Structure 1
Amino acid sequence: MVAVGELLREDPGSATMPAVAERAGLSLATAYRYFPTLDELHRKFMLSVIDELYESTKGLKSNGMALFNDTMAQWLKVVAEYGPAMVLVRSREGFLTRLQAGEPHARALERVWAPPVRQLLDEAGVDPDQLPYALSLFNALFNSREIMDFRAVASMPDEQLVQRCSRLYWSALQGLRSTED
């Protein structure tokens, strides 16, 4: 995974199976034994990145919007480091379908984002049953491709980007309120 990460950070387009095998000091046959396709290798790498994010956020002591902001700050760091590699992993299914099916990447993102999002739903008076939709909304707004785009176009410091994303997400969550509210 280290070899994959290095290649994907340096030049995602050059991260072929032969290049990964060479960087890892493996024969090409051995590399293919572990990862039959380059897509599978990318997916395994992406899962390791999300796991790294989880490890950096699981001990956060803040609550509510502060927890969301702290988690978002960590997300921005991860995207800054791995973003070009992260955008290589795509799926034909939407986030909700993947989450419901138990797809590993969607579940890993749920593990990271459910605690702060659940707290925001509570603060906003939104039914906790809306969590899957709130997570899907988060994914649509702030996946790695969108964060990279924000950075490229807005060119604002991370602290300001965290605040902008948090306000935007808070506003979007209001749309998940029951129509009876």
Structure 2
Amino acid sequence: MLASVFVTGGISTVRAPGRVASAVEPAVAPLASRVPRLPDDPEQLARLNGAVQIGAGLLLATGIAPRAAALALAGSLVPSTLADHAWWKEDDPERRSLQRAHFLKNVSLVGGLLIAAADTHGKPSLAYRARGAATSGRKQAARARRETAHTVRDAADTVRALPDRARQTVTG
């Protein structure tokens, strides 16, 4: 369900990037100068963002690489939210209120995406599993050392007892 807004919005943007391009235009130059290979044409940038939202939205919806897809969607939503819903720049109280509502909706979506990105569906991350394996390995090594120490102690006791057993066998 979370992905649906991105897939539909992405399709709309790819089909008609002009609506989004006009809002994104002030941010294009600073973004393009900081990120190499990013298009400096507002319409191309809008289409690229829409394509990312379609692709990552479909991945999230189908459960394929959901954590990476959620992060990609969050990354695509932040700049578009700042460009499209800059409510603090609005003078008209009605438009300001409407833009603030859209801005807060998108902030909520980013929060949901970050939760989805952190969700492991009951499967711990690779880092967690690696830490667990290392801990388990240390525990196994300690257990093996204790067992070896017991075995060596038992062997030493047996060796110490040999002369007594040998005397008993000879005398008796």
TM-score range, shorter chain: under 0.3
Q: Which has the larger radius of gyration?
A: 2
TM-score normalised by length of structure 1:
0.27
Query: Which protein has greater RCO, CA pairs closer than 8 Å, 6+ apart?
Result: 1
- Which structure shows the bigger proportion of residues in helix conformation? 2
